[in-house]
Amino acid sequence: MLYALKIAARYLTANMAQTALLVVGVAVGVFIFIFMSALIGGLAQFILSRTVGDIAHVTIEAEPEDPAILIAPEGHVLVVTQRGRTRTASLAEAATWLPLIENVPGVKAVSPQITGAGFLTRGAQVAQVSVTGVEPGREAAILDLPGYMVEGRARMSSGLIVLGRELAEDLDLSLNQPLRLQSSEGVTAMLTLSGIFETGNGAIDGARAFVSLSTTRTLFAMPQGASRIEIKLFDLNAAGATAARIRSLTGLDAVPWTDGAEQLMEALDAQAQTGYFLKTFALITIVIGVASALLLSTYRRRPEIGIMRAMGAGRSFVVFVFVAQGALVGLMGGVMGAALGYLALLPFPPREAFEPGTLPMDITQGSYGLAITLTVIGAILASILPARSAARVDPVTAIGQ
């Protein structure tokens, strides 16, 4: 078959202009394939980073205590303790689990937190807030608080509080001003505003207050443990598997971010499907282009095919000559298109630096190998029809042409 490959290469080089046009046509198809892969992949990455980039990828929360039914000696119910919505449940042994969770493969950061509801008061102004207590030094573990600071610092020392810009403006607060925080447990603390952040997310900027973990222990009467453990992963797509692993290791109720994000996942899936369609059309264009060019070549070379058959070339040899031409065109066009695609994507910023208003092209999601492989396979499939047509050429008729 080495000889058939040589003949295929000779046929392709015999008419350089036609072959070059064909290869460029295939390359354009591959370029579109790669461009679409990078765009759809980058877009998904951008949406995910904007929507779930600042949330925990896996969350462990204490299960609220079941209602307590107190039975009197005579068998009558005396008291039913209703499950409280504001009462903070506790992971009493959170500190025990942390080293174990931190060592789970794929885990980037772990942040034990105490969360609860409260009221911020400054003068006559009152605002309801969601209070999050984080360990000093872990401020950037989940939400990159230091990165979003617009004033002051994200310091979580005792007696300090960090608020969003929207909330600070609502309360007419500026740095280093004192304010009062009353928790849902009825405990009040006087705190000093040490920093103001702005994430661009109204739900965070207008209703979240960050304090130190020790402050929330006092506010929510939780001398030990945590109310939740938030976990950040290197690959947010691995959340389901990692949550399952943590569940099996600790027995805790680890929940991946994808639970409850069905709509987002459906939207991303629909976007991916659109990408598949566009890429499929690009491949179909390649297949049609290669098939038509080779069919034309088959027709033009009928006399030569007849000579080859007369000289003892079998039908399979003729088939291989034309399939090899298709494969070579696919390979050359695939490599050229992949190279062009890579070069065209180089000027775009990397995925870590996507900016709103620009095309989020992710050069790492160009699917270069896949594009080349599918193109070669497509070109081979496209050449089968012309190859079979060539193999069926009647040598007597062809030589007489």
Partner 1 sequence: MSTLLDVRDLVKTFGVGEAETRVLRGLSLHLERGEMAALLGPSGSGKSTLLTILGTLMKPTSGQYRMLERDLIAADDRALTEFRNAHIGFVFQFHNLLPDFTALENVIFPTAVREGRETPQARARGRTLLARMGLADRIDFPSSKLSGGQKQRVAVARALMNSPELVLADEPTGNLDRVSAMQVMDLITQINRQEGTTFLISTHDEKIADLCQRQIVVGDGVVTG
Binding interface with partner 1 (CB under 8 A): 1-4, 6, 10-11, 14, 303-304, 306-315, 317, 395-396, 399
320 vs 354 by CB, closer to partner 1: 320
By beta-carbon proximity to partner 1, the closer residue of 282 and 398 is: 398
Q: Which helix (H) or strand (E) holds 192?
A: strand 188-197
Least Å from the CB of residue 325 to partner 1:
13
| Residue 379 C-beta: closest distance to partner 1, Å | 21
Q: State which residue, 185 or 304, has the beta carbon closest to partner 1.
A: 304
Which structure tokens are listed for 136?
Answer: 């000093």
- Maximum Cα interatomic distance, the chain, rounded to a whole number of Å: 113
Q: How far is the CB of 332 from partner 1 (least distance, A)?
A: 18
Q: Please give the structure tokens belonging to residue 379.
A: 């070109």
**Separation of alpha carbons 94 and 97, rounded Å:** 5
Report angle CA 279, 378, 15 to the nearest 5 degrees: 115
Question: How far, CA to CA in Å, does 223 sit from each of 123, 134, 158, 220, 358?
Answer: 30, 14, 15, 9, 48
Whose Cβ is closer to partner 1: residue 9's or residue 109's?
Answer: 9
Instruction: Mark out the alpha helices in 53-164 (DSSP H runs).
Output: 94-102, 145-148
Identity of the amino acid at 200: G
- b/e for 335-372, b at 16 or more Cβ within 10 A? bbbbebbeebbeebeebeebeeeeebbbbebbbbeebb
Question: What's the closest the beta carbon of residue 293 comes to partner 1, in angstroms?
Answer: 17
Q: CB of 14: closest distance to partner 1 in angstroms? A: 4
Instruction: Give least dist CB 11 to partner 1, A.
Output: 7
